[in-house]
């Protein structure tokens, strides 16, 4: 139970429990309806009983491994504030690399000449990729699929709040779009191996967003294996740090050309794209 009376004491309480400084400040600022800068300037401001209890409960959940984004109810992704709930994966910074690549090619690269490029986001979760691409390339016609109805409703809600137009489809990977074809398809599918020890630290996020068979490759295999029927151009996928050779091999077997891999900010090969000729 938190005994802190003011802002500084509440933060010290959280640090002493082992909560990281940034997390503690974000949670307390959220509970007090203030900014982190405000907290720094008002260390002796008293907390109300309700603020103190709510912050204490947040600290307990954080110690239990609940992501800060779920406690705040939101996460920034490429300048968009997205609502996130435990039904959706918390969007990761490395996925911004997938969006960067897409926008580079839509705005100036091989797809730059298309008037209204058809773009698909497979497994949209909170809508992060679809919404960031639609925002960054307003002439694109963006469709997004998701097999979790709960996740899709979070994505729709984000789109409405942000005023961004996306065609949302409920269903299994490409099946959700029928026979439609796309100039650019993007996917950040589940790619963690079922036995990966890191999963223990991710237990608050939906398993269906993370785990994909014994090697983490089942969903990538399905998406890439069916790409020929829907891709009139490029498919770019995010994957695990050690999966690039397998993913490139799957793309080659499925008829893709010009296969290339990009690294994330830490230098790990994490995104691979290939082109299917029209």
Ligand X SMILES: C[S@@+](CC[C@H](N)C(=O)[O-])C[C@H]1O[C@@H](n2cnc3c(N)ncnc32)[C@H](O)[C@@H]1O
Q: Taking the complex as a whole, how short is the minimal distance between the CB of residue 142 and ligand X, in angstroms?
A: 13
In order of 30, 130, 133, 250, the CA distances from 138 in angstroms are: 32, 12, 8, 32
Which one, of 113, 90, 109, lies nearest residue 100 by Cα? 109
Of residues 4 and 177, the one with the C-beta less far from ligand X: 177
Of residues 32 and 90, the one with the C-beta less far from ligand X: 90
CB 171 within 8 A of CB 35: no
Please tell me whether residue 188 binds ligand X under the rule CB under 6 A: yes
Site string for ligand X, 94-123 (x = CB under 6 A): -x---------------------------x
Q: Is 214 exposed, middle or buried (0-12, 13-18, 19+ CB in 10 A)?
A: exposed
Q: Taking the complex as a whole, how short is the minimal distance between the CB of residue 116 and ligand X, in angstroms?
A: 23
CB 22 within 8 A of CB 1: no
Stretch that binds ligand X, among 6-14, 20-28, 66-74, 87-95 (CB under 6 A): 87-95
Of residues 54 and 254, the one with the C-beta less far from ligand X: 254
Spatial separation of the C-alpha atoms in residues 71 and 58, rounded to whole Å: 7
Stretch that binds ligand X, among 46-54, 101-109, 145-153, 228-236 (CB under 6 A): 145-153
Please tell me whether residue 61 binds ligand X under the rule CB under 6 A: no
With CB under 6 A as the contact rule, the residue among 30, 97, 148, 250 that binds ligand X is 148
R_g (Cα) of the chain, nearest Å: 21
Q: Taking the complex as a whole, how short is the minimal distance between the CB of residue 251 and ligand X, in angstroms?
A: 19
With CB under 6 A as the contact rule, the residue among 2, 7, 154, 209 that binds ligand X is 209
Please tell me whether residue 129 binds ligand X under the rule CB under 6 A: yes
Exposure of 189 in the CB half-sphere (CA atoms within 13 A): 28
Q: Taking the complex as a whole, how short is the minimal distance between the CB of residue 278 and ligand X, in angstroms?
A: 25
Spatial separation of the C-alpha atoms in residues 252 and 257, rounded to whole Å: 7
Number of residues that bind ligand X (CB under 6 A): 22
Spatial separation of the C-alpha atoms in residues 164 and 174, rounded to whole Å: 22
Stretch that binds ligand X, among 103-111, 132-140, 183-191, 269-277 (CB under 6 A): 183-191
Which one, of 121, 126, 125, lies nearest residue 82 by Cα? 126
Kindly list the residues in this chain that would bind ligand X in the complex (CB under 6 A): 89, 91, 95, 123-126, 128-129, 145-148, 151, 172-173, 188-190, 208-209, 219
């Amino acid at each position: 139970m938190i005994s802190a009376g003011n802002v500084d004491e509440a933060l010290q309480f959280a640090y002493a429990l082992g909560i990281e400084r940034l997390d503690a400040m974000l949670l307390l600022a959220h509970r007090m309806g203030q900014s982190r800068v405000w907290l720094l300037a008002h260390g002796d401001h008293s907390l109300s009983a309700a603020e103190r209890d709510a912050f204490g409960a947040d600290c307990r959940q954080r110690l239990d491994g609940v992501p800060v984004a779920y406690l705040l109810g939101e996460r920034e992704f490429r300048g968009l504030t997205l609502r996130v709930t435990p039904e959706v994966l918390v969007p990761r910074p490395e996925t911004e690399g997938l969006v960067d690549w897409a926008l580079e090619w839509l705005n100036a690269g091989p797809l730059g000449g298309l008037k209204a490029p058809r773009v698909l986001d497979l497994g949209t979760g909170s809508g992060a990729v679809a919404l960031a691409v639609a925002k960054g390339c307003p002439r694109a016609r963006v469709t997004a699929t998701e097999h979790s109805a709960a996740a899709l409703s979070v994505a729709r809600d984000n789109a409405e709040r942000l005023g961004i137009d996306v065609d949302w489809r409920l269903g299994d990977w490409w099946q959700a779009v029928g026979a439609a074809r796309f100039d650019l398809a993007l996917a950040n599918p589940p790619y963690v191996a079922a036995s990966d020890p890191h999963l223990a630290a991710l237990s608050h996020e939906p398993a269906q967003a993370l785990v994909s068979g014994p090697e983490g490759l089942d969903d990538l295999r399905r998406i890439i294996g069916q790409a020929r029927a829907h891709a009139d151009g490029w498919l770019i996928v995010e994957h695990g740090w050690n999966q690039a050779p397998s993913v490139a091999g799957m793309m080659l077997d499925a008829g893709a050309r010009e296969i290339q891999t990009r690294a994330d900010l830490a230098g790990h090969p994490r995104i691979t794209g290939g082109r299917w000729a029209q």
